[in-house]
Amino acid sequence: MASLKDMRVRIAATKATQKITKAMQMVAASKLRRAQAAAEAARPFAERMDAVLQNIAAGMAGAAGAPKLLAGTGSDQVHLLIVATGERGLAGAFNSSIVRLAREHINRLLSEGKEVKILTVGKKGYEQLRRNYEKHIVDRVELRGIRTLGYVNAADIGEKVTAMFDRGEFDVATLFYAKFRSVILQIPTAQQIIPPKLEGAAAAADGASYEYEPEEDEILNDLLPRYVATQIFRALLENNASFYGSQMSAMDNATRNAGDMIRKQTIKYNRTRQAMITKELIEIISGAEAL
């Protein structure tokens, strides 16, 4: 049985932990506002770029001169998985949920006889995936130390991915990240970005007809690399907001749990102390009666 001193030390340590989790919750809440605003501001641009790309691509459907980034290589044997996670933990299931979705995708591709290559963006994704898939990881990008995510960070990753595609190192690229919905809801998402899945291309083709200057292929040659970088930038911003939302929720739960532990430990301490006092009184009274 623990002594009263051990109990006091345990209660003090739990209170110190509660102060830390409460402070982390407040910091996450403060950063979440800016991260959420940035993610929501990036969505209209990314969605509008999707619409423009769909409209242009609809006019080139089946055309022989379609850029390779749009048409693909004609094969799907080699897959590049871009797994974007956080640089830190203590955020609940944020990192593990993204990695779980990527792991399911990897296992399915391997069972179909496909070749899988992995590019990790974020320390936690690399740490989790290297346990089982280290030989499949071809590159890693860490964003530690970057206070404010900018388009330049995504552009660097996009250039690396498009350069790999130009060298013929993969046929299909899929991006994994968590889409922010609310503090308690972040949706793990897999999005194919090379070649892009333009689900609305057929619908766009049925609409109004546009003439482009310069020609569609010239526009696409410039637009497609920007599209890849934009989708990666959007994923990074969504991830950033999702991380702080998940961390805020996790630290709130940790603070509540610490409070429950403190109450239980305090009750146990008081009961043990009362039992010791009662035992001492009984011994004193018994000794007095013996005299």
The per-residue pLDDT of the chain, averaged, comes to: 86
Domain positions in the chain: 4-21+251-290, 29-248
pLDDT of 184 higher than 90 = no
What integer pLDDT is reported at residue 92 of this predicted model? 85
More confident position, 143 or 120? 120
- What would the mean pLDDT of 243-263 be, rounded to a whole number? 92
Residues 216-243, mean pLDDT to the nearest whole number: 86
Number of Cα atoms under 13 Å in the Cβ half of residue 276: 10
User: What's residue 203's pLDDT?
Assistant: 45
Count other C-beta atoms under 10 Å from residue 18's C-beta. Answer: 18
DSSP-derived secondary structure for 78-115: EEEEEEE--S---STTHHHHHHHHHHHHHHHHHHTT-E
Q: What percent of the chain has pLDDT over 90?
A: 46
The CA distance from 84 to 86, in Å, is: 7
- CA 18/CA 20 separation, integer angstroms: 5
Is the model more confident about 48 or about 250? 250
HSE on the CB side for 194, CA within 13 Å?
Answer: 31
> What CATH number is given for 29-248 in this structure?
3.40.1380.10
pLDDT of residue 285: 83
Position 167, amino acid:
R
Q: What's the CA dihedral at 92, 95, 96, 101 to 10 degrees?
A: 130
Over residues 101-122, the pLDDT tens digits come to: 999 999 999 999 999 999 999 8
Q: How many CB atoms lie within 10 A of CB 26?
A: 12
Reply yes or no on whether the pLDDT at 210 is more than 80.
no
The vertex-192 CA angle with 84 and 216, nearest 5°, equals: 125
Give the pLDDT band (50/70/90) at residue 200.
Answer: low
Q: What is the mean pLDDT of residues 144-153?
A: 82
Mean pLDDT confidence for 73-84: 91
